[in-house]
Amino acid sequence: MSSLEDTQAAVQRAYQASSVLARKRGAERAKALQAMAKALASATDEILEANTLDLEASIDMAVPNLILDWLKLTPERLQATGQILLKLAELPDPIRRVMNAPYQVENSQTYSQLMPLGTIALIYEAFPELAAIAAGLCIKTGNCLILRGSSEASHSNAAIADILQGALAEAQMPPGCLETIAPDAGASIRDLVCQEQYINLVIPYGRPSLVQQVVRQSSAPVLRSAMGNCYLYWSPTGSLDLVRWAITDSHQSEPDPVNAIEKVLIHRNQKLSSLAMLWNTLQDNGFDIRLDPSMLTDFPELKPAADAEWNQPYLTKTVAFKMVDSIEDAISWINQHSSGHADCIVTESYQESCQFAAGINSASAYINASPRFYRHSRQGDAVFLGMSNQKGHRRGSIGLETLTTIKQIVQGYGQF
């Protein structure tokens, strides 16, 4: 078989398994998640050995440090992944959850139910444990998953996929509910994402270049994920300490800085002494500071930010600063330049907070709060794959309901 035929066969296996998996009871899918968590825990050494091979090969090939950070697994990262799978197993089954319908039909009862999408493809860069998290979310929602990782993580991805597939088989999940396509098999991303008759959703996860490539090439629906290039507006009434904390805390998400604040808009009335104090603190904590060229007169020792940087994520501990004259200017600039998934304001003005929340064209707005991203929050039961910035299928946090669709059911009373 050619590489294209192999890809088509894997996609069709997942498609055929999707109708079987959708009929599995919630308790059966929960047991499968528990089996996956147990299998990962038992194979920690095997996975770390495979990951070492990937790291050594990536270092030899001068892979960027950013990708190495995403790639490197630790016992703690694997343990956290297992805990996410166990948490998913404990959550109520979202499938067939009854919801109110938006309308009623005469002589009938109308209601809605959450249903699986069917077959989902995840195209991801490094992040080997993301395969297990995505598989957990998909099994919980009755969806089949096709994994297409990057070449840097080929050994790690293969080891994790083999372990998960074995656990799913033991849990009597249908063959094909988790398929993998190796990046070195010869098939392109286009070969995968152009099979819209079998794939219901494609999720790209990684640097913007990967996401944009998938969006351009795919004929199947795409749920864009976003990372970095989040903005913060510092109002004249905003606290310096709160700004400092929000920036540093937003960068603590590991291993991927999903909601990291990388750009700060400062109202022109802020004191220069406050700016200097903020930058000194950030630099002491390993941040690289960039300034709009207009600010370099007061701070000539700092680096300028190029025009193109305001639209792009750094994905490192780098923050660029720019002066604005008003909250209206800040909102306009953010709507034009941010990634559009998580933007912030620090202010003591209730009116400004309302104006910002209403005016920002982003998936989420944070008011006097850190946008730090958690795959599994310390508070609550939600588990998230990432963040989406698109207005389309779903927007914001990519969680269980993101991977479902709604079916409307009309139950007649036999009257006509």
- Per-residue pLDDT tens over the stretch 94-105: 998 887 777 777
pLDDT surpassing 60 at residue 1:
no
Token pair of 348, please? 């003591």
Tokens 């004929």, located at residue: 219
Tens of pLDDT along 271-291?
999 999 999 999 999 999 999
Domain with CATH 3.40.605.10 in the chain: 3-225
Burial 214-234 (b: 16+ CB within 10 A, else e): beebbebebbbbbbbbbbbbb
Share of the chain above pLDDT 90, in %: 83
pLDDT surpassing 80 at residue 2:
no
Do the Cβ atoms of 36 and 167 come closer than 8 Å? yes
Q: What confidence score (pLDDT) does residue 394 get?
A: 79
Domain with CATH 3.40.309.10 in the chain: 230-367
Domain 3-225, CATH number (from 3.40.605.10, 3.30.470.30, 3.90.79.10, 1.10.1060.10): 3.40.605.10
Tens of pLDDT along 151-205?
999 999 999 999 999 999 999 999 999 999 988 766 689 999 999 999 999 999 9
Would you place residue 18 in the very low, low, confident or very high pLDDT band (cuts 50, 70, 90)? very high
Please give the single-letter amino acid code of residue 387. Answer: M
Q: Which of 341, 349, 150, 131 is nearest to 238 (CA)?
A: 349
Would you place residue 319 in the very low, low, confident or very high pLDDT band (cuts 50, 70, 90)? very high
Tens of pLDDT along 3-12?
888 899 999 9
Find the range with the poorest average confidence among 14-23, 48-57, 77-86, 381-390.
381-390
Peptide bond into 304 cis (omega under 30): no
The architecture CATH gives domain 230-367? 3-Layer(aba) Sandwich (3.40)
Q: For all residues of the chain together, what is the average pLDDT?
A: 93
Q: Do the bridges between strand 343-346 and strand 365-367 make them parallel or antiparallel, or are there none, so unpaired?
A: parallel
Tokens 């039961």, located at residue: 381
